[in-house]
Amino acid sequence: MLLFTDLLEKAGLDPADVRLLRHQTKASTGRTPYGLWRDDRPAFEDYQSVQTAGNRASLAAPIWASFVAPPTGGSLFAGIYTAEHIGTAPASWLDPLHQVAGGTLTADTLDQYRTRSPRIWSPISAGSGLNGARARANGCSVPTVKTSRSSSSRAHFVKTPFPERAICGLGDR
């Protein structure tokens, strides 16, 4: 079985340097991180670049592997990003998902990260069990799932069991 850590290592990345993020929020506007990723990549990257300060320790890694939750369920690989904490997000930052000032969404301070996607990656599914927002990639046996294309060119996502959840220490954003 091909594991996500295998893909990271084949790409020359040390899994110990990678944090897994899964974006799954659905805003009252109906917008989702999946929709932003699919339809407006800069908005998705802006959304991902601001995180609550309470998550700072778990996000402390030079590389983020991002996943989004498609409407069909599961987790879809969205990309690899370099990540660097650069300070507090400006009070004027507008959350592209909720379309309101970010500070109105949480009592926690919002951290700003500089994220860049240094490579183009093809989407893959990581199964339905990647239910948390952050995890360490090392020691985490996330199985990859093959996607297939129908005649309509839409990917079909296959749900798979994810017994490694407890090992990976996944949490919510």
Distance CA 72, CA 35 (A): 12
Tens digit of pLDDT for each residue in 99-131? 999 888 888 899 999 988 765 444 444 444 444
Residue range 159-167: average pLDDT?
34
Supply the pLDDT for residue 119.
52
Distance CA 145, CA 155 (A): 12
**E strand segments, 39-158:** 50-52, 63-68, 76-88, 94-95, 100-101, 110-116, 134-136, 148-149, 155-156
Supply the pLDDT for residue 135.
52
Distances (CA, A) of 45 to 16, 84, 132: 23, 13, 19
What separation, in Å, do the N-terminal and C-terminal C-alpha atoms of the chain show? 29
Report which residue type is found at 151: S
Other residues' Cβ atoms within 10 Å of the Cβ of residue 93? 16
Tens digit of pLDDT for each residue in 68-86? 999 998 999 999 999 999 9
This prediction has a pTM of: 0.69
